[in-house]
Structures are given as C-alpha cells and as structure tokens.
Structure 1
C-alpha cells in the first residue's frame, strides 16, 4: 500500500503523488566556495545563477502541489544540494547512508538531522565498510526497491539496506552497473532510468543494466530511450511529481516531446547550473511523503 496521506512521511513509490519533499539550498559565496564546487568535480558554476535556478525549481515544486521543506546550505559540502543521495526514505522513515565519494562524507548526518526536525524518524544507518548513494535506489513497485551495485554502492550496503527494508515487507532487486568512466565519476543506477508512471520510464539504454531492462519488460513497463546528447544534459534525470506528471530540465526537448507523445504532462525548469554538478531534479529532491 502507498503511504497514508494523514502521515507526514512514508514512501513506497517513485511515481506516486509527491506530497512532501525536502530540498537544500545550494552553497554560495566567493571564490573559495567556487573552489569547493570544483574540488567536488563540478564544472565551474555561476553561484548566483545556481541559487536563482534552484529557487525557481523549488517554486515549481510548490506550484505543482508539493509541500517543500527547505534546508540550509552546509558549509564545505557543495554536493549537499543533491539531497536524494545521502538518505533513503522508506515506509517507516529514513535510512542514513555513507558516501563513497570523499567530498560527500558527512552529508548523511546533516540530512538526517534536517529530516528528524521535519518529523521523519530514522529507522537505520549503514555501518562498517558499507557505502551507498540513494541515486542507486528507486522503487520498482510498492514492495520492491531496485539497488544498483556500483562504485558508489557496495555489497555490504546492499545487504544492510535489504535487512532494514525487510521490516516493512520490502524486497530488493540488485543490478550491476558498468565501469563507464570509472570510480572518480558518477554513474548511479538512476543515471540510466527515471520512472514516470507505473507503466512508463525513461531509460539511457547504453549504460542500463541488461537485467534491469529485462525486469522492466517482464513487468510490462515501457520505456522512452534518451539519446546520447540529452543524456549529457541529464535528460534521463526526471522527477515524477505524480503518475504521468514530471519535472525536468528545459534543455532536453526531444525527451520532453517523446514523453508528451505518451500522454505525459511535462513541466520544465532551467537546470543549466545544476547540470554542472551532474545532478538533475531527482537528485535535488528527497521525497518524504508520497501518497
């Protein structure tokens, strides 16, 4: 079952109505802050434009009916704007993850604190040698989470997340990601797929795990193929705000047109600056409550 609308938290879907969501404003400042972004592997951002585009993105979320919990920037952690990754929220609350990327260490604790202040309990934390980003995790259905085993998410993390989610009757399907550009670069499972509604997703087939594509086909889920050019501008990074209603970067015109041909309602925002950190609308949101 989906989360109750009388609750303030609970997620069992990647496409159910996004009733409540956390975001974090980007870190801004002078040349020292720009250097922090570059050290975290961003292309050099224009911080004023980044802040303005992020504010526009947040306003669009509100216009589409989401209750947005805005969190403050975290000094020294420019990637903290990408709030999807440090924590995974399930039916009963948050799981604090541990980043493999050194520049992201510490984000989980900050986000957990923000979510707890917003009334979301913490139900588990990764321990030992486990590392994971939630960008390697999405809901295939209300009882199944897909986890990508990657340079960011290791087997220890898969085992621990599986155990935590089992308390809510949730299963895990694991898919191995390719080497691509190697461990210094970001390839998440959700770099290759974004669910749009129960029977539709967008997919970048060239890097998508074959076993995941086979699982989608077995479930009767159709997908729209993102081309090489729009993959680079994060055309495969799309946020479902409710089934068949999405928010995506405005530069990905061909993917948007293909979605509209499938009856999808498409909303766009200027993602040019956040794209420089390889983070789209899914990355910039941490769903707290989906109906």
Structure 2
C-alpha cells in the first residue's frame, strides 16, 4: 500500500519520552496541582503498553530533566512516514526541546524540514485528517509559524488549512481528535466553531471535555479511562475503545495525543 493510500490513523512506529522528575514543574494553564511523579510514570507505562497492544513498535527516549514538559514529544515535531518537520514550541521554556529531538528524527526519516521563520507552532495544534492538515492558531501557535508550516506541507504534497482555535482552548487537539476519515470527536465549543464542516462530529459528554483528546491508533481508539459516558457514545457508534489512565497527565494540560510521535 502506498503511503498516500494509507489511513492516517494507521501506525507502525512511535517515539515517546519518559517523564522527567522535573515534570512537577511542568506548564499548567489551569493549576490542578502538581502531578505525582510515580503515578505519572505509571500512566506513561500504561500508554506505551496500549500503543504496543495496538500493533505499534515504540521507541522510548530517556527523560530530559532540563525540560519539565519534554515527555510531550508531539509538540516539538510533526512526523509522517516519508518525512519529519521540526517545530518551534510557543512556550519559552520548551524551545530547547526541538534541538534535543532533531538527531532522533534525522536518524529515522528520509526527509527532514525545519520552520524557516521566527514563528511558533506546537504539535498539539495540528490535526492530520485524510484530506488536509488543520493548523490551529492558539496561544502557542501564531500565524507566522502556521503559514510557514503550511508551506512546508505543500512542498510535501499535503494540503493545509489554518483555523482559529476557539477562545479558552489551549491547543486545537485539546478539544478534538480524529476518529476515522469522516468523523471527529469534539467538545461542543469546537463543534460550534464550525471548523470541520465536511466531517461528522461525535460530542464528548458534558463534564468530560478532556475526553476530546483521544487517539485513534489502528483498530482502536485510546480514551482517558475516567470518561465513561464518552466511551459509551463511541462504542455505540461502533468504535473499539481502550481506556488509558491520564489523570496525572491531565494536570499538565495534556492528553493522549501529546505523548507520542506516530507514523
């Protein structure tokens, strides 16, 4: 099967990074308290196990103590089967993460690109669908960076669409995730923003907004294990759901997509 014919949720490989002890000092837009490092590491192990069970070979990178948020490897890079793109995270404390992961990406991908500008893009603001790559403007992704990324994507044969993430939402994928070629899971605010007019939307249950950051991996949808009502909605729609604990991860404004780079 050619990569162009391959479902964008079909993955064979992933890169993750172990949580550092410094993760207690990770960024938090909403302070829910510092995570327990032992519990955070246990959640990370459960996440790796879920990826492996879904058929993915996982490469685990060592922790970076100088970067408290470095376990969230999705933000400093974007990867596809044929190329990797180094991004520029919008939080000053995370800028150095890109340089630390670049050698890993260059060793694994046949083509490597970097943003040729001073703009910013967080990987959490990028939603890849079969038809286009959505780039959400947010507090961490600006128009300069989004435009530069769209240009690189065009050079690789991929269409991009820059959209405005609704106010109060940290990242585009904080409030939505891809379920299949025609369907997204989203919060009501994201649905009402009308960003995905050509796709069906399954709403997360009220009070379970954090469930919107789910992760389709091959034949299953990984979902935070605490979100029982949203799980029922997905199962009623015919999806095979695997629960993964993310209570400590959620204290760091993160979710399931944030913890891996997948291709």
**Which residue in 1 is equivalent to 2:200?**
222
Gaps of 5+ in 2: none
Picking from 257, 262, 265, the partner of 2:232 is 257
CA RMSD of aligned residues (A): 2.3
Number of residue pairs matched? 262
Query: Per-residue CA shift, 1:116-169, capped at 9, x if unaligned?
Result: 34x12452212332101011111221x511111222111111221111111222
- One of 155, 161, 169 as aligned partner of 2:157: 169
Q: TM-score, normalised by structure 1?
A: 0.82
Q: Secondary structure of the equivalent of 1:174?
A: strand
Give the corresponding residue for 1:24. 17
Q: 1:281 maps to which residue?
A: 256
CA distance in 2, matches of 1:63, 1:91: 20
Q: TM-score, normalised by structure 2?
A: 0.91
Q: What is the CA–CA distance in structure 2 between the aligned matches of 1:125 and 1:175, rounded to whole Å? A: 21
CA distance in 2, matches of 1:163, 1:98: 15
Pair 1:149–1:73, CA change in 2 (3 A): same
Select 2:178's aligned residue among 195, 199, 221.
195
Give the superposition deviation at 1:35. 5.1
SS at match of 1:80: coil
8 Å contact kept, 1:237–1:281: yes
Residue 195 of structure 1 aligns to a residue whose secondary structure is strand
Cα distance, 1:223 vs structure 2: 1.5
Residue 209 of structure 1, CA deviation = 6.5
Question: How much has 1:40 moved relative to structure 2?
Answer: 8.5
Residue segments in structure 1 that go unaligned for 5+ positions in a row:
5-10, 181-185
Mapped contact 1:71–1:114 kept (Cα < 8 A): no
CA shift for structure 1 position 201: 1.6
1:242 matched to 2:242? The reply is no
Instruction: Note if contact 1:193-1:203 (Cα within 8 Å) is conserved in structure 2.
Output: yes
The correspondence for 2:144, drawn from 156, 159, 164, is 156
* Corresponding residue for residue 115 of structure 2: 126
SS of 1:18's partner is coil
Other-structure match for 1:97: 87
> How far apart, in 2, do the equivalents of 1:96 and 1:124 lie?
6
Deviation at 1:187, TM superposition (A): 1.3
